[in-house]
Amino acid sequence: IKKIAVLTSGGDSPGMNAAIRSVVRTCAYYKIECLGVYRGYQGLIEADFKEMGPRGVNNIINKGGTILKSARSLEFKTTEGRQKAHTNLVQSEVDALVVIGGDGTFTGGLLFNTEFNFPIIGIPGTIDNDIFGTSHTIGYDTALNTVVEVIDKIRDTASSHNRLFFVEVMGRDAGHIALNAGIGAGAEEILIPEENLGLDRLLESLQKSKASGKSSSIVVIAEGDKIGKNVFELKDYVEANMPEYDVRVSVLGHMQRGGAPSCFDRVLASRLGVKAVESLLEGKTNYMVGLQNDKVNLTPLEQAIKGKSEIDSELLRVSDIMST
C-alpha cells in the first residue's frame, strides 16, 4: 500500500478532525501518501480530493466538525455512483480507504469492497454511540458533556420556577446519550427506546417525586423513545393529568454535534486513526477499529453494522435508584 484516502461521512461528530489528523500523520510516519476526500462518498464520486501531509492537519485536534466536510450521498447508493468513485480512486492511484462515520458509512464501504475488492477500514465517528464492537464512538463523550452542561443550566431555571422540563436529546434509535447524560445531569426520569417506561409509570413516578418534596424535575427523553408521544404531546399529556405541574420542553438538537472535542475523544480518535492505517498496512480489510475494555481492537464491518450496542442494565438500575 502506497496511498490511502480518508473521508468523513454521515452526521459529523466532535473528534472527527482528530481522527483525520491521526490518519494523515500515521501515513506520514510510515512514509505513505494520504489523500483527503471532501464531502464523504460524494467527494469520491466527484474526485474532490486533496493531498494531505502532516503539516496540513496542524491546529485541528481541538476543532469540532470535520475539515473534510461530510455528506449523506444518495448517488453512492447507485451502482453507477460507486463505479465512478472506483474509477476516480484508481486514477488517483489510491490503494485503500479509511472511512470515518456511523453504520450508514460502513454499509456503503462494505458494499464498495464487495463490488471492487477495494481495501477498507472504518473508524466509528458518531455522537450516538450506536455501533457494535466499540464501547465508545468518536464524539459520544463530547456530546455527553455538552448535554450535561446544558441540563445543568436548565436545572437552574427549572428550580427557580418550580417547573418540570422535558429535555429531548439526540441518539437516533439509541438511548445511550439520554441514559448517560441523564444520570450525569441528575434527571428524575430517563426515557429511552430500549426500555419503554409507559405513560402510566411516568405519571406515577412524577407523582411520587412531587409527594416526596421535589418542586422541580428534569426528564430526559431520547429522540427515538417509544413511549408513543412526541415530547410536545408528552408535555400536554402530563399537564392534563397533573395540573399542578408547570411543564416546559427543551429540544437540544444539533448543538449536541458541535464544539471542541473532549480529551477522551481526542485520544480515542488518535488511537483509532493509528490502528486504522496500521491495519491496512498489515493487509487487513473490512474491519472497524474500536475500543473494548480500553484496548484498541478490530471488529468485522459486517458485525459492526448488524450487531446491537446494548444498553447497560446496571445503568438503568442506577438511574432508578437515583430518582428516589
Interaction of residue 128 with ligand F6P, rule CB under 6 A: yes
Cβ–Cβ under 8 Å, residues 308 and 150? no
Q: Note the Cα 203 to chain centre separation in Å.
A: 31
- Grid coordinates representing 109 are 464501504
Q: Give the range of 20-28, 84-92, 126-134, 310-318 binding ligand F6P by CB under 6 A.
A: 126-134
* Nearer residue to ligand F6P within complex by CB, 170 or 301: 170
Query: Exactly one of 12, 48, 95, 128 is catalytic; which is it?
Result: 128
- Inter-CA distances, 121 with 17, 34, 74, 110, Å: 17, 14, 21, 9
Give 181's contacts (C-beta < 8 A, 6+ positions apart). 143, 144, 147, 148, 151, 169, 220
The least CB distance from residue 40 to ligand F6P, in Å, is 13
- For the segment 8-67, give every residue that binds ligand F6P (CB under 6 A): 11
Q: Within 10 A of 314 (CB to CB), how many other CB atoms are there? A: 8
| Total interface residues for ligand F6P by CB under 6 A | 10
H or E element in which residue 3 lies: strand 3-8
The least CB distance from residue 206 to ligand F6P, in Å, is 26
On whether 82 is known to bind a ligand per the annotation, the reply is: no
The least CB distance from residue 143 to ligand F6P, in Å, is 8
On whether 266 is known to bind a ligand per the annotation, the reply is: no
Cβ–Cβ under 8 Å, residues 207 and 156? no
**236 in catalytic set:** no
Cβ–Cβ under 8 Å, residues 41 and 101? no
Interaction of residue 273 with ligand F6P, rule CB under 6 A: no
Burial 289-302 (b: 16+ CB within 10 A, else e): bbbeeeebebbebe
On whether 172 is known to bind a ligand per the annotation, the reply is: yes
Please give the Cα distance from 82 to 212 (Å, whole number): 60
On whether 257 is known to bind a ligand per the annotation, the reply is: yes
- Any idea which residue has 402530563 for its cell? 238
The least CB distance from residue 4 to ligand F6P, in Å, is 25
149 to 188: interface string for ligand F6P, x by CB under 6 A: ---------------------xxx----------------
The least CB distance from residue 92 to ligand F6P, in Å, is 29
Binding stretches for ligand F6P (CB under 6 A): 11, 102, 126-128, 170-172, 223, 257
Annotated binding residues, written as ranges, equal 11, 21-25, 72-73, 102-105, 126-128, 155, 163, 170-172, 186-188, 214-216, 223, 248, 254-257
Active site residues: 128
